[in-house]
Structure 1
Amino acid sequence: MSDQVKQTVKKVFEDLATSLETGRMEARIKIGLTIDGSELGMAVMKQAAYAIKQKQLFDLVLIGSDVDWANDFIHYSTTDCQKEAAELMEELLDNGEIQGCVTLHYNFPIGVSTVGKVLTPALGRELFIATTTGTTSGARNEAMVLNAINGIIAAKACGIEKPTVGVLNVEGAKTVERALTTLHEKGYGITFGESQRADGGNVLRGNDLLLGSVDVVVCDSLTGNILMKLFSAYTSGGNYETLGAGYGPGIGRKYDRNICIISRASGAPVIANALEYAYELARGKLGVISQQEYQTADQAGLQELCNRLTAPTNKETKEIAAPPKEIVTSEITGIEIMELEEAVKVLWAANIYAESGMGCTGPIVLVNPKQLTAAQNELKNANYL
Structure 2
Amino acid sequence: MAENNAVKQMIGKVFLDIADAIKTGKFGNRVKVGLTTLGSEHGVENLVKGAELAAKNAENFDIVLIGPKVNTNLEIVEVNTEEEMHKKMEELLDSGYIQSCVTMHYNFPIGVSTVGKVITPGMGREMFLATTTGTASAHRVEAMVKNALYGIITAKAMGIENPTVGILNLDGARQVERALKELNANGYKINFSESIRSDGGAVMRGNDLLAGSVDVMVTDTLTGNIMMKVFSSYTTGGSYEALGYGYGPGIGEGYDRIILILSRASGVPVVANAIQYAAKLAQGKLTEVAKAEFAKAKAAKFDEILKSLTKDAKKAPAETETVTAPAQEVVTGSISGIDIMDLEDAVKTLWKAGIYAESGMGCTGPIVLVHEEKVHKATEILSQAGFVAKEGDIC
- The TM-score bracket by the shorter chain reads over 0.9
- Structure 1 residues 10, 305: CA separation in 2 closer, same or farther (over 3 Å shift)? farther
Partner of 1:344: 347
TM-aligned CA deviation for residue 18 of structure 1? 2.9
Q: More deviation in 270-279 or 332-341? A: 332-341
Number of aligned residue pairs: give it.
Answer: 380
Partner of 1:40: 42
CA distance in 1, matches of 2:387, 2:108: 34
TM-aligned CA deviation for residue 7 of structure 1? 12
CA distance in 2, matches of 1:222, 1:6: 55
Q: Which amino acid aligns with 2:31?
A: I
Cα offsets for 1:90-126 (capped at 9, x unmatched): 0000111001000011110000000000001111111
Partner of 1:16: 14
Question: CA contact under 8 A between 2:323 and 2:351: conserved in structure 1?
Answer: yes
Taking structure 2 as the reference length, the TM-score comes to 0.92
- Structure 1 residues 7, 300: CA separation in 2 closer, same or farther (over 3 Å shift)? farther
> Gaps spanning 5+ residues in structure 1: where?
none
CA distance in 2, matches of 1:358, 1:267: 41
Q: Which amino acid aligns with 1:73?
A: L
Q: What secondary structure is seen at the aligned counterpart in 2 of 1:167?
A: strand
Partner of 1:169: 169
TM-aligned CA deviation for residue 382 of structure 1? 2.0
Partner of 1:378: 381
TM-aligned CA deviation for residue 19 of structure 1? 4.5
Question: CA contact under 8 A between 2:344 and 2:359: conserved in structure 1?
Answer: yes
Map 1:1-385 onto structure 2 (within 5 A).
Answer: 12-21=10-19, 26=28, 28-57=30-59, 58-69=61-72, 72-79=73-80, 81-312=81-312, 315=315, 316-317=317-318, 318-385=321-388
Question: CA contact under 8 A between 1:228 and 1:247: conserved in structure 2?
Answer: yes
CA distance in 2, matches of 1:226, 1:256: 27
Q: Which amino acid aligns with 1:176?
A: V
Q: Which amino acid aligns with 1:32?
A: G
Question: CA contact under 8 A between 2:314 and 2:385: conserved in structure 1?
Answer: no
Identity over aligned pairs, percent: 54
TM-aligned CA deviation for residue 89 of structure 1? 0.4
TM-aligned CA deviation for residue 186 of structure 1? 0.5
Q: Which amino acid aligns with 2:69?
A: D
TM-aligned CA deviation for residue 13 of structure 1? 3.7
TM-aligned CA deviation for residue 329 of structure 1? 2.2
Question: CA contact under 8 A between 2:51 and 2:275: conserved in structure 1?
Answer: no
> Gaps spanning 5+ residues in structure 2: where?
389-395
Q: What secondary structure is seen at the aligned counterpart in 1 of 2:334?
A: strand
Cα offsets for 1:330-370 (capped at 9, x unmatched): 22111111111111011111110001111222111111222
TM-aligned CA deviation for residue 8 of structure 1? 9.5
TM-aligned CA deviation for residue 312 of structure 1? 3.8
Cα offsets for 1:129-177 (capped at 9, x unmatched): 0000000011111111110000000000000000000111001100010
TM-aligned CA deviation for residue 221 of structure 1? 0.4
Question: CA contact under 8 A between 1:31 and 1:61: conserved in structure 2?
Answer: yes
CA distance in 2, matches of 1:18, 1:204: 48
Q: What secondary structure is seen at the aligned counterpart in 1 of 2:115?
A: strand
CA distance in 2, matches of 1:76, 1:171: 45
- What CA RMSD, in Å, does the superposition of the two structures yield over aligned residues? 2.1
Deviating 4+ runs (over 6 angstroms): 5-11
CA distance in 2, matches of 1:254, 1:321: 50
Cα offsets for 1:189-224 (capped at 9, x unmatched): 111111011100000000000011110010110010
- Structure 1 residues 329, 235: CA separation in 2 closer, same or farther (over 3 Å shift)? same
Cα offsets for 1:295-338 (capped at 9, x unmatched): 00000001101111112457441221110111222221111111
Question: CA contact under 8 A between 1:19 and 1:26: conserved in structure 2?
Answer: no
Question: CA contact under 8 A between 2:126 and 2:215: conserved in structure 1?
Answer: yes
Q: More deviation in 95-104 or 371-380? A: 371-380
Q: What secondary structure is seen at the aligned counterpart in 1 of 2:33?
A: strand
Q: What secondary structure is seen at the aligned counterpart in 2 of 1:256?
A: coil
- Structure 1 residues 66, 372: CA separation in 2 closer, same or farther (over 3 Å shift)? same
TM-aligned CA deviation for residue 50 of structure 1? 1.5
- Structure 1 residues 19, 43: CA separation in 2 closer, same or farther (over 3 Å shift)? closer
TM-aligned CA deviation for residue 11 of structure 1? 7.1
Question: CA contact under 8 A between 1:130 and 1:148: conserved in structure 2?
Answer: yes
